[in-house]
Structure 1
Amino acid sequence: MHYLFLAVAIIAEVAATSALAKTAGFTKPLPTLLCLGFYALAFSCLAQVVKFMPIGIAYAIWCGAGIVLIAGIAWRVYDQRLDIPAIIGISFILVGTVIINAFSSSVSH
């Protein structure tokens, strides 16, 4: 069940960060409300996850997945292209997240 909460936390964080780009410094009400609402959902779900998983591991997975997804969305939606060093760096983050999930004894499966 904690992986479901973690997935919702990741999706909500990605939605919030995507909306953040549209808030114009929190001056546009609808994107600001969406942004804050999704962040609230993300942190609420993450708080449930850390009941079952060490916070360092949960946060690493949450951040790693969020970074990879936001980079992809920024590329597709906002046409923010990544250069080779950025792609390599984000690939390391993705590989690290997979290693944590697949091999760490700190993660309860």
Structure 2
Amino acid sequence: MTPTTAAYLTLGLAILLEVTGSSFLQKSEQFTRLAPSLLVIACYAVSFYAMSHALKAMPLGIAYALWAGLGIVLTALVSVIVFRQMIDLAGFLGIGLIVSGVVVISLFSRTTGH
């Protein structure tokens, strides 16, 4: 496995853990429930740790753009599927623009190391 592939996999893990932590943040009820609160802290801590390892082979700007963009999209999906929260047309358009930006960065940026 190349360092770049490992970095993308590690970044993917960081994104999934951040989304999981955000989902438990809703369940923590402003940190008044112990188990979800501990899961938030654990997921965020491991997410940042994984992100720090991804940065060994990726520029910060690219890694953070991918982390933030994909995190927004996945968190929006979780909010719709798990929490039954609706997204309006403007929300879908905004998410579409985020996905477009992630695709452009992933396919065309020369700074991603691929």
Give 1:39 deviation, angstroms: 0.3
Query: After superposition, where does 1:28-67 map in structure 2 within 5 Å?
Result: 28-67=33-72
Give 1:19 deviation, angstroms: 0.4
Percent identical = 41
Match of 2:16 among 11, 28, 40: 11
Could you tell me how far apart the structure 1 residues matched to 2:97 and 2:42 are?
30
Could you tell me how far apart the structure 1 residues matched to 2:65 and 2:58 are?
11
- Over the residues paired in the alignment, what is the CA RMSD in angstroms? 0.7
For structure 1, list consecutive stretches of 5 or more residues without a partner in the other structure.
none
Q: Deviations over 1:20-43 (max 9, x none)?
A: 001111111100010110000110
Give 1:78 deviation, angstroms: 0.9
Could you tell me how far apart the structure 2 residues matched to 1:60 and 1:19 are?
23
Alignment coverage as a number of residue pairs: 109
Q: Deviations over 1:61-108 (max 9, x none)?
A: 001001000001101111111110110001100110111011100101
TM-score (norm 1): 0.97
For structure 2, list consecutive stretches of 5 or more residues without a partner in the other structure.
1-5
Match of 2:104 among 93, 99, 103: 99
Question: What is the match of residue 3 of structure 2?
Answer: none
State the AA in 2 paired with 1:73.
V
Give 1:5 deviation, angstroms: 0.5
Could you tell me how far apart the structure 2 residues matched to 1:71 and 1:57 are?
21
TM-score (norm 2): 0.93
Give 1:50 deviation, angstroms: 1.2
